[in-house]
Structure 1
């Protein structure tokens, strides 16, 4: 996932200024992309304008510089749809921002493509659990530094495993419930699925 696709997804909903996009990314969009500097947003918007994915109009402001308000072009719409419908490839880390970006923006434009994204993520996580849940997790110590307490190390290793296992199980449960919802619920706009 690139910042381009996040910005295209946001501009697909409504035109926004660079400042508006930055504010959204800092607040609501923190789960998609964190620590984005304002200059990254403006550089990306400029590059996307050069590519033809976005266009802008100047919005006059009293006692402040005019703002550029960006909107999606037809080429930007095509790129957003291409990305939303492209095969999804899960990362090794579950709950990755790449998945959430695809989930949100693909879900807005194509329910069938979203089902493919959810199915791919679900199959990948189930395979991860199947391959690792029963593995030997025992710790072996050899020439450890003196500060290592083997009992504490084993305890914390086990606590971390329990947290991770519970989190991935909850993630799989959420994916399964979401998949059922997507299959069973009529679309709010009455459109075809």
Structure 2
């Protein structure tokens, strides 16, 4: 079984289920609680698709639970094969070397082709987004760090990095604004 066919969403689901068996509804709630959408795209339908895919590959096994109410209430646990595949996939070097595409940077590469008002609007919107996200992440760090459970240390490190990157971007955006928006347009 080649781990390369496992998507980031599949791996997130395997990682959460490695902590303990869950059904799809509970898994979705846990992903929302952890703000997983901040760092990976996992939709509600994707959870159920991945559960089926991972179970079909033998990486998950159904767990008998009382009151099972259909497929969205079928609990799954990670198999030994699933744990091995997860460890193998998480050992790949591309986790450290891939560069994600950032929509604002793509926009900036083409910004010379728009008018001053549009440039101002987009730059100000990005600044407002960054400011709001910094505040939200600071709040998340405060509340999350006080919670018990697995991966709290790793999550806190992720949030600290995110805050640092956003604070740097805020300063950089102020420079972008100063260079790309003439004083009369401010």
- TM-score using structure 1 length: 0.48
- TM-score using structure 2 length: 0.50
Larger Rg over CA atoms: 1
Tell me which protein shows more helix as a share of its residues.
2
